Amino acid sequence: MTFDEAKDKFIHTWGTLATQWGINRSMAQLHALLLIAPEPLATEDVMEQLQISRGNASMNLRDLMDWGLIYKQLKPGERREFFMAEKDIWKVARQVAKERRRREITPVVDVLNELKMISTDTPEAQEFQRVMEGLSSVVGFADSTLNAVIKAEENWLMSQFIKVFR
């Protein structure tokens, strides 16, 4: 396999996998490109290599910066902006967990806490509250797990995985 074939396969695969993290395919492919780029890339470089429009590139670069997965870098004498990805994969994993928690888990926790505050004076209301308590328990577990990943250091996280698979 040539480098170009491997690069294309990685970008395609990362685009497919990252959709599971709540990131769209174009955004993930752009992230993959920046992740493996040895030097920061300009928007035009991204557009050319991924064959995407300026609008698509700009929107996804902005979203990746909002996620904290890429950074803007200025080069002396250059008017263009350049972008580079966070190269520490553990930081990337923690940042994705942090964003998913903020975007998905926290709003659900808030709604479930509100829904559990109903009066339980009927059998239907009691069943409703029982289900909300069960959902809260599951969501609370997911929240705790993501919070542990967010706070984890590489060595701690690795030691936890080793314990699980022993």
What does the pLDDT read at residue 154?
Answer: 58
- Please report, in tens digits, the pLDDT of each residue of the chain (166 residues total): 899 899 999 999 988 887 777 778 999 999 999 999 999 999 999 999 999 999 999 999 999 999 999 999 988 999 999 999 999 988 888 888 888 888 889 999 999 999 888 888 999 999 999 999 999 999 999 888 888 878 876 555 566 656 666 6
Measured distance CA(136)–CA(132) in Å, rounded:
6
pLDDT of residue 115: 87
Rounded to whole angstroms, the Cα distance separating 78 from 80 reads 5
**Helices and strands (DSSP H and E) totals, the chain:** 8, 3
Tokens of 126: 């009691």
Angle at 115 between CA 113 and CA 119, to 5 degrees: 115
pTM beyond 0.85, yes or no = no
Find, among 75, 21, 26, the residue nearest to 49 by Cα. Answer: 26
> In terms of Cα–Cα distance, which of 159, 134, 36 is closest to 92?
36
